[in-house]
Structure 1
Amino acid sequence: MTAHPSDPAVAAFVAAVNAGDKDAFFAALTDDATMSDDGTDRDLVAWAEREIFSSNGRMDVEDVSADGRTLTATYTNATWGSMRTRWAFTVTNGRISRFETGQG
């Protein structure tokens, strides 16, 4: 059963990832958004291109926190296959200003 994020910015992020829609993905983020992967800060634009867009990344959300800003998902892309991941989002003025992801 797929869960749906209740926070509108997080829901937009997930929808953009699953649609492979770069414009919608970056529209869900603040202009100065940052991110980390497995505890290491990454260049968000380069990471998104490599891990999402050029490798057909997809999120199957399994669990959502009460505030809608922390997810557990099976993340799949052509590079790494499928893995269980945790995603935590900071939302500022209706857009994501930071996200942290990693295997979990």
Structure 2
Amino acid sequence: MIPTDDLSDPAVRALVNAINANDVAAFRAALSPGATMSDDGSDRDLTQWADKEIFSSHGHMDIESEEDDGRSLIARYSNDTWGAMRTRWHFTVDGGGKVSRFETGQA
């Protein structure tokens, strides 16, 4: 596993650390205004998805690998709702160093 503090991209690192700390404020701060996301190929409302899949269910990412300068991850994602599963994540980072979009799904 890769320690989250060793992730290559600072914006991705900030978002993953916020998820693992269950820190809603830090999560929102790591996102650009109007950020979007998809789960298993379907666009979702980011706020509703994060509340359900991360914060109310104690989501946590254990990073297995990273590619694309740290913007593509394979992680073991777990939460109280679904248990643990192997997932892929791809992040788009804007010019201001914030995540403007992420796509996730089962790996």
TM-score bin (small chain): over 0.9
Runs of 5+ consecutive residues of structure 2 not aligned to the other structure: none
Give 4+ residue runs of structure 1 displaced > 6 Å after superposition. Answer: none
Q: Indicate conservation of the 8 Å contact 1:9/1:28, yes or no.
A: yes
Runs of 5+ consecutive residues of structure 1 not aligned to the other structure: none
State how far apart, in whole Å, the 2-side matches of 1:36 and 1:98 are: 8
Scaled by the length of structure 1, the TM-score of the pair is: 0.97
Range moving further from structure 2, 61-70 or 45-54: 61-70
Q: Deviations over 1:50-84 (max 9, x none)?
A: 00000000000010114110000000000000000
* Aligned counterpart, 1:2: 2
Q: Deviations over 1:16-68 (max 9, x none)?
A: 00000000001000011000000000000000000000000000001011411
SS at match of 1:67: helix
Identity %: 62
State how far apart, in whole Å, the 2-side matches of 1:5 and 1:55 are: 24
- For 1:23, the aligned partner's letter is A
State yes or no: 1:72 paired with 2:35: no
Scaled by the length of structure 2, the TM-score of the pair is: 0.94
Choose the corresponding residue for 1:94, options 94, 97, 102: 97
